[in-house]
Amino acid sequence: MRARFVLIILILLGSTAGLAACGTTEEEPGPAPAAKVVGYFAGWGVYARDFQVKDLDTSGAAGRLTHLLYAFGKINNGRCAAADRWADYEKPIAAAGSVDGVADQAGATLRGNIGQLRKLKEKHPGLRVLWSFGGWTGSKGFTEAARDPDAFAASCHDLLTDPRWSGVFDGIDVDWEYPNACGLTCDKSGPDALTRVLGSLRSAFGPDSVITAAVPADVAKLTVADYRTAADSANWLSAMTYDYSGAGGQAAVQKTAPHSPLTAYPGIPRENANTSATVDELLRLGVPSGKVLLGIGFYGRGWTGVSTAEPGGDASGPAAGRHEKGLEDYHVLSRRCPPTGIVAGTAYAFCGSQWWSYDTPETIKAKMAYARGKALGGAFVWELSGDTPQAELLTAVSDGLAAAPR
């Protein structure tokens, strides 16, 4: 009797296998796409910061990035153009500063950062490189570009496929601050302007190129442009979830506050000025979670004239920074003013009369756990020169995204 029972079970198992082979059972879902680890490389960093393309290789950053965004190109008369010819492709790179240890030859067609990006891609063939256009000080030109997006897109395609650097760039990033809203200048191109620009870029570059856009963290700004439709033409949208607070303005007394909180917290200056609120709004608008990248700043925002360790204390103004008031790179702050507390998922530091907020490897890993929990497409960082020589912050990003879901 027992033998007959086993035989029946085997027959049933065989029938199930046969049904599967005939395609009548549901297929199990495939693995989720690998998370994107994206970093901006600022072309001007080769000057005062002395951060070279080679540093991406020696630090290990290039091996952890999936995409590198070269910032910034400019928009001139509604057309894409190089912003700094000398740094971009004319500056001769000596052997000591070259990715492959070989100096640029005199009179070579391609030198500078883009020449080094070619060498970096040869050494890291899985790395994809995009040219980013715009930025905080360079977004004014998008208003004119949006008047004739097809001509703009054609000019960008011509620039990125220039024979001198053909094959270096795998796509383009639009850092428009901000469509149909105010940044350093105000734009009134309409809610569909970004959609039209990205759509024209997709048509010009084709389906295999990477087309991306940086989008604001301010929830109010997310409601005045059609980011859901814009996402249709983009591989992803990079949510700039930092700079929610910072020293500045005309107020005689200012209050300290973390510039990149993950969540709201008691005493937050603006209720929706946090990463979770930004992400939730993008998802509410209908942007697919897999097309949203979480933004991480590799720098801190700081105040001086502070006497209170916790956030919300009075300050007299921005703290001194090497390149800009109220701003300093992580690799400097981590030594000079190490963290003294955590608030809303980000770190802060009180040292002397200064108060700084910034992310650390520990807070970044927690933010990456949040990104995984929301099924986001990955994370991006602004910008890579702020990291340590061992790429500690980028390591936290890539390791945090690769961790098994909780």
Average pLDDT over residues 25-29: 43
Using CA atoms, how far residue 82 sits from 79, 87, 210, 296, in Å, is 10, 10, 19, 26
Distance of CA 144 to the CA centre of its chain: 25
Distance separating alpha carbons of residues 298 and 260, to the nearest angstrom: 11
62, two tokens: 């290039």
Using CA atoms, how far residue 373 sits from 96, 330, 358, 367, in Å, is 43, 26, 22, 10
129, two tokens: 């490189």
User: Would the pTM of this model clear 0.85, i.e. be above it?
Assistant: yes
Read off φ and ψ for residue 74, nearest 5 degrees.
-120, 165
Which amino acid is it at 143?
Answer: T
Which of 167, 241, 177 minimizes the C-alpha distance to 209? Answer: 167
**Residue 155, CA atoms < 13 Å, CB-side half-sphere:** 18
pLDDT, position 34: 82
Burial call 39-53: b when 16+ CB within 10 Å, e when fewer = bbbbbbbbeebebbb
Distance separating alpha carbons of residues 60 and 388, to the nearest angstrom: 11
Per-residue pLDDT tens digits for 373-404? 999 999 999 999 999 999 999 999 999 999 75
- Domain map of the chain by residue range? 33-250+257-298+360-402
Q: Which positions are catalytic?
A: 177
**pLDDT score of 132 more than 80:** yes
pLDDT, position 320: 96
pLDDT, position 24: 36
Per-residue pLDDT tens digits for 289-320? 999 999 999 999 999 999 999 999 999 999 99
Residue 85: count other Cβ atoms within 10 Å of its Cβ. 11
What CATH architecture is 33-250+257-298+360-402?
Answer: Alpha-Beta Barrel (3.20)
Per-residue pLDDT tens digits for 88-119? 999 999 999 999 999 999 889 999 999 999 99
